[in-house]
Amino acid sequence: MRLDKFLAHTGFGTRKETKDLLKKKAVEVNGVCVKDGKFQVKPVVDQVAVYGEVVAYQEFIYLMLHKPQGVVSATIDNVNPTVIDLLTPAEQNFEPFPVGRLDKDTEGLLILTNDGVLAHELLSPKKHVAKRYQATIDGIVTQEDMDTFKKGIVLSDGYQCQPAELEIVSVMPDEGTSSIFVTIHEGKFHQVKRMFEACGKKVVYLKRVAMGLLELDPTLPLGKYRPLTQEELNLLKGID
């Protein structure tokens, strides 16, 4: 790995800022001053120090984001703000990406990481990782809908979804709306919305509250994020 990238990954600023450190002769590799940002280092082998302090290298970053509406689940977008735009430059230096996606108007749990192996495990169709959502539905959700979800909804394009668990929290007959939880085990485009459309109903609010065994931290404000704890990371990595 290039030395300037190593420094950026360990919180010493952008590539431009790390060049200033190198010019000031503040960086040593194995006790030898290095001024060339292209110098190759082995993070788990070489000892890098800045102003005499040994730098601890972190390869991966794992963040829990409480995604707000109006932000897209992408690394780059020419029109809308992305979830990456919510991060500090230091965290952006790790080049994280969203694990899966939430629609622009959907809130809730989104994992950001640069660990491609973990992302693949969580998104692989073979793994059937559960995604649990809280939703408000325009329409009265019934026991019949619950049974249909359990059998597997057939979407308008003919695709048959895997069995899903639909739970009715409350029904407001006067307003003609319902509050529900739904758990799906795949991630087709606009899947939850399309499943309810197939039942003649419309999702008016959608929030992901869990992915696999990991639940959204109820104390995490909308639009904010934090690193996963080791226990939470273990929950994700323990998914079969």
Q: Which of 103, 115, 138, 145 does the annotation list as catalytic?
A: 103
Round to whole Å and give the CA distance between 190 and 193: 6
Give the DSSP per-residue string, 72-106.
BSSS--SSS-BGGGGS-HHHHTT--EESS---TT-
CB 94 within 8 A of CB 115: no
**CA 64 and chain centroid, separation:** 6
Catalytic annotation present for 147: no
DSSP, residue by residue, 146-215: HHHHHH-PBPTTSPBPPP-EEEEEEEETTTTEEEEEEEESS--TTHHHHHHHTTT-EEEEEEEEEETTEE
How many helices and strands in the chain, by DSSP H and E?
7, 13
The sign of the dihedral angle between the CA atoms of 42, 44, 49, 55 is: positive
Question: Are the C-beta atoms of residues 181 and 208 closer than 8 Å to each other?
Answer: no
Looking at the annotation, which residues are catalytic?
A: 103
